[in-house]
Amino acid sequence: MSQPKIERSLGQKIFRVLSGFEIAVVCFILLFLLTFFGTWEQQYIGLYQAIDKYFDIDSLFVVPRNEHDKIIFLPLPGTYWVIVVLSINMFCGGIVRMRKGWRTAAVLVSHFAILFMLVAGAVSSIAKKEGLMMIYQGEKSDYAQSYHSSDIEVFAYDEKGDRTAPTVISSAELEPLRNEDTLHVDLPELPFELEVTGYLGASSMAIAKNDLERAKDHKVVDGYFIHEVERSTTQEENMPGCYVTVSKGDEVYELMLSNLNPQPISFVIDGTRYGMLLTRKVWPMPFEVELNKTVGDYYPGTRKARWFQSDVTKVTDGNREDYEIIMNHPMRHGGFTLYQARWDKPQGRPFSGFAIVSNPSDRWPEWAFYVSTAALFTHFLTMLSLYIMRSTRKSSKAVS
Amino acid sequence: MTPPLALPNPAQKNLALRWGLVIFFLILEFALIGYAINGSRIPPTVKKVPAYEPWPESVLEVASQIPVQSGGRVKPLSTFARFELLQLHGSLKMKVETRGKTIKISATEWLLDCLFRPEIANQLPVFRLDNSEIVTNLGLKVDKLRTRLSFEDIFPIYDKLMQRGQELTRESENRELEMKEKQLTEFAQQILSYQALTSALDFARNGMQIPTEQLPPAVENPESLQKFSHWMAILPEVSEAIRSAADANNGEIPEAMRSTLGTIEEFITKTRFGLNWIPPYDESEEWRPLGRTLTDLIEGKSAQWEPAIADLQTLEELAPLAQQPDSRAFLDGLTAWQEDLTQRSADRGLGKKIPTEITYYKRSYFKYALAFFILSFVICAIGWLVTQGKMGTWVQRFAGITFFIAVCILVWGIVHRSLVTGRPPVGNLYDTIPFITAGAVILLGLGELITRRRLLLSLASFFGMVGLFLAFRFEYGDAKDHMDPLVAVLNSNYWLSTHVVAVTLGYSGGLVACFLSQVYVHLRLAGVIEGNKSFQRFVTRAAYGIVGFTLVFSLVGTVYGGIWANDSWGRFWGWDPKENGALLIVLLALLILHARLGGWLGEWGIHFLCIFMGMVVAFSWWHVNMLEVGLHSYGFISGGEVIWFFYGAEVLSLGVGLAAYLLHRSEKKG
């Protein structure tokens, strides 16, 4: 006898598709391929570029390529968006639609926990900020700098020769530029116009008179020019550079900025001296960190790190709090986490590099982990016990 | 009980074709594995060294206990020797023929030869050469591509080799060296390391060798002037005397003095490298070769002249005694030196684990475990033929007992290793191999206890053999002391015992599932289980269940790794190759489970994906370390072409599965 056909509304049909195993399986296949190609390509383009290409929120489609830039697989959807679809599927199928009972309780809980973990990942990729704060022992700092992104800072010098608050041309505007592009920047707070040209994501500086052959093909400013270098697979090593034209009426300045040059380039407009600098993006902190003492050592006779420790004081509005930061034990406070990321002692003067992270979902994966682990083990052990009981029953029947 | 396997029914369709295919694939698989193993093997060379006289056991016993510092820890001399010899020779024993007998020289014996009898050591075939073109290009005649040479063999091209090595080292700063060039620079470096050992006691063996006519007639004890320690003791006075003599001689240092000064300089330089066996005389932690201590004294960085001179004198007394290795005097001298160093080490709270480390290597746990796994596998194989009656039961019991012994030895080996290192069982890539093997064989052994089908026990023994064989290959190939301490970020017993253990158990599960499925497809192709639906279902269920195990441990381990990364580096997930490798296993396990639940994956599909799982585990376990990118830089390894042979073998297994599936389909239709 055939079963009567169940009439379903459009909403129900959509829900059934969204919650089906089909979507889950397709998502797992896609994620598998994306993770594999995203890993494989890292050996050619580096970790940062691979994340940008495969796993970033902006990546809608990905074309896997080999070391010679040849396409090696069909275009795939961006990982972030596959995870979004998988999360919807998991919610609809693995939580709402899933049969509820004691045998599925653990799976239900683990689905919920994993979903929570994926949400944590999404929040992190949107809201997380990170940077590096370098401090020498006995000194203090109240800002961190980005590992990868560089901004142009433009500022005026006051009468004492100190820098005033800078106006920033953000890396978000600069990084998409190609070498042949021109970026017109309108800065209402400054009395001049800016034009950025010849932007290079990975560049080096050279003295024109020392490299006449190459200088012929480049714009030379004050005896220097910037030229493209092979992009390093370690993004921190890629130093951007560009040319900037500053103009006001007939007054025109040609400047050359490079991330390799830590000194600002200065110019005078309307009798005011200004400075301009291409530097790693600065992230001001709402507190100051004083590095009281930092110690580190290596295993004897090697350069293998054994131990790093920093004793710091965090100063917020006059309130002083002491912390100890060591490997695997960061300092967490007020939404910020400080990690011991670097340590060295050049010329006997020790310094610490603290990775600073602000991530609203910092501890969410940990909570999700405890729940999912308990649920997964419960489910696995339940299944195993049932299997053993069935097997024992079968063999005892066979004996009798 | 139904016998698990049965001879194929002669009425079975395509029987000849099936067995033809099985044999074809097995030949290909074994050829591939054989090629991978043989590709890096050097045929044993037995060199005639007529003057070689073995060191007495008593001397070796004492020598092995001498504490030395290497790789950031204090370890027994025997361990140091073991890894030095592995690096140079690629093996732990060296065969030589002496007085008509072939003997095997151990690492400690070889190191004693280097220190006390370099003229003998120079005749030993210590240098492993994987591509002899690098020396034939420099004019040396060598008839094999892969061979082992002695220092004496290399000596005719020594200067050219060193010069070319230096040139290439300089060039490497500006360009990527070719493979042969890299091999040459590494080879030159190995020879220098070897020479640092053989010349470390030159001062003690040779003395100053000042001609008697140059000795001042009024000297009371002219013999003392032949000792390097004497000259070091009076070095400040000597310097003053040289200065005065030079002043009186128009700035020219007299010839006799110049020659003596040259010898002193040469001895200091020669003892600057090699063995770090002198504990510091002050509070510092770094043990150093004698030459560096002497340099510090001369440069005024240290004022500990007295203990340094005492050490020089001890070695000057000891070295000549080694000319008679079985003499009581040498044994006593060596024992006194070892006890002195051990006491100085103990005064600093170091070297406490030297005895247990020596015991660990002496017991060769993994070698014995391997032998028992082989025995167990052979008995299992006999058990396939004798399935019925008392005999069958006894064979099965005997297989179980030998397997149990193998597992106990393996587990005790891992525990002993942990006790020596003072950390959880898995801290580096080498550690993972015995641990994963243990995880897999225990998992399969427990499976056998539950199911009693004989298959899992056979598979467990086979896995044990393969795993431990791999452990030996990796230890010999990598030639690094894997007991050395870990980098700061890994130095956490909590995370090592949770995240790392969970991930590696996940690897064990993935490989077990893969092995089970390989057995399944091979048996299906052979037609051995075609009529035994219950057995087919059993293997499939076992593989599927183990995928569940793999998922639980891989997922828990991977997420726990993320939490560790969040505490160490400030990010939970960074798409780093090591993390992605673990994720790939999780995704594949999820894919298998969900596709099965969705009804798209039948028996064949599960087994195909489980075989593929083996490749994914290999990628995650090994291959990601070869990509040399990401934050897990402490785990990077080079080379590793063997991984492609493993992938090849898995592809062949997939081929076996496909052939079996197609035959099954066509027979079903027919």
For B440-457, what is each residue's pLDDT tens digit? 999 999 999 888 888 899
Rg (C-alpha) for chain A, rounded Å, is 28
Nearest CA-CA distance, residue A236 and chain B, Å? 13
Return d(Cα A302, Cα A216) in angstroms, integer.
47
- Give the global pTM: 0.88
Least reliable range by pLDDT among A41-55, B61-75, B115-129, B634-648 = B634-648
Place of tokens 């070889």: B110
B640 contacts chain A (CB < 8 A): no
Q: Which long-range contacts (CB under 8 A, 24 or more apart) does A100-104 make?
A: A103/A382
Least reliable range by pLDDT among A112-121, B382-391, B605-614 = B382-391
With a CB cutoff of 8 Å and minimum separation 6, the contacts of B70 are A301, B80, B276, B481, B484
- The ipTM value here is 0.87
Chain A residues near residue B287 by CB distance under 8 angstroms: 300-301
Residue B214 has pLDDT above 70, yes or no: no
Mean pLDDT of B224-239: 84
The pLDDT-based confidence of B120 (bands split at 50, 70, 90) is: very high
Q: What percent of chain A has pLDDT over 70?
A: 97
Contact B549, B446 (CB under 8 A): no
Chain B residues near residue A388 by CB distance under 8 angstroms: 450
B492·A355 Cβ contact <8 A: no
Instruction: Give tens-digit pLDDT for B314-351.
Output: 999 999 999 888 889 999 999 999 999 999 999 999 99
How does the average pLDDT of chain A come out, rounded? 90
Interface test with B, best of A103, A283, A299, A333 (most B CBs within 10 A): A299
A398·B581 Cβ contact <8 A: no
A372·B69 Cβ contact <8 A: no
Q: What is the DSSP letter of B483?
A: T
Predicted confidence at residue B251, as pLDDT, reads 76
Instruction: Give tens-digit pLDDT for A194-222.
Output: 999 999 999 999 999 988 888 888 899 99
Predicted confidence at residue B252, as pLDDT, reads 78
B492·A373 Cβ contact <8 A: no
User: What's the maximum distance between 2 C-alpha atoms anywhere in chain B?
Assistant: 112
Return d(Cα B448, Cα B443) in angstroms, integer.
9
User: Judged by CB atoms within 8 Å, which residues 614-633 of B form the interface with A?
Assistant: 624, 627-631
Predicted confidence at residue B2, as pLDDT, reads 46
Residue A77 has pLDDT above 90, yes or no: yes
B71 contacts chain A (CB < 8 A): yes
Residue B87 has pLDDT above 70, yes or no: yes
Predicted confidence at residue B1, as pLDDT, reads 44
Instruction: Give tens-digit pLDDT for B253-307.
Output: 777 778 888 888 889 988 888 899 999 988 888 998 888 888 988 888 888 889 9
Mean pLDDT of B107-130: 95
Per DSSP, the residues of B276-303 read --B--SSS----B-HHHHHHHHHTTS--
The pLDDT-based confidence of B220 (bands split at 50, 70, 90) is: low
A:B CB pairs within 8 Å: 171
What does the block give as tokens for B389? 């009656």
Place of tokens 């370098």: A134
End-to-end CA distance of chain B: 32
Single out the residue of A325, A322, A375 nearest to residue A111, CA to CA. A375
Domain ranges of chain A: 10-98, 129-142+284-358, 144-283
Residue A4 has pLDDT above 80, yes or no: no
What does the block give as tokens for B314? 């001890």
Least reliable range by pLDDT among B40-44, B172-176, B462-466, B588-592 = B40-44
Per DSSP, the residues of B492-503 read -HHHIIIIIHHH
Mean pLDDT of B583-594: 97
Predicted confidence at residue B488, as pLDDT, reads 83
The pLDDT-based confidence of B122 (bands split at 50, 70, 90) is: very high
Least reliable range by pLDDT among A123-132, B28-37, B266-275, B548-557 = B28-37
Instruction: Give tens-digit pLDDT for A317-342.
Output: 889 999 999 888 899 888 899 998 88
Q: How many CB atoms lie within 10 A of CB A269?
A: 17
Range from B41-50, B273-282, B546-555 that averages highest in pLDDT: B546-555
B491·A327 Cβ contact <8 A: yes
Interface test with A, best of B75, B552, B554, B621 (most A CBs within 10 A): B552
Mean pLDDT of B485-504: 87
B72·A121 Cβ contact <8 A: no
CA angle B538, B540, B543 (to 5 degrees): 110
Least reliable range by pLDDT among A48-62, A86-100, A377-391 = A377-391
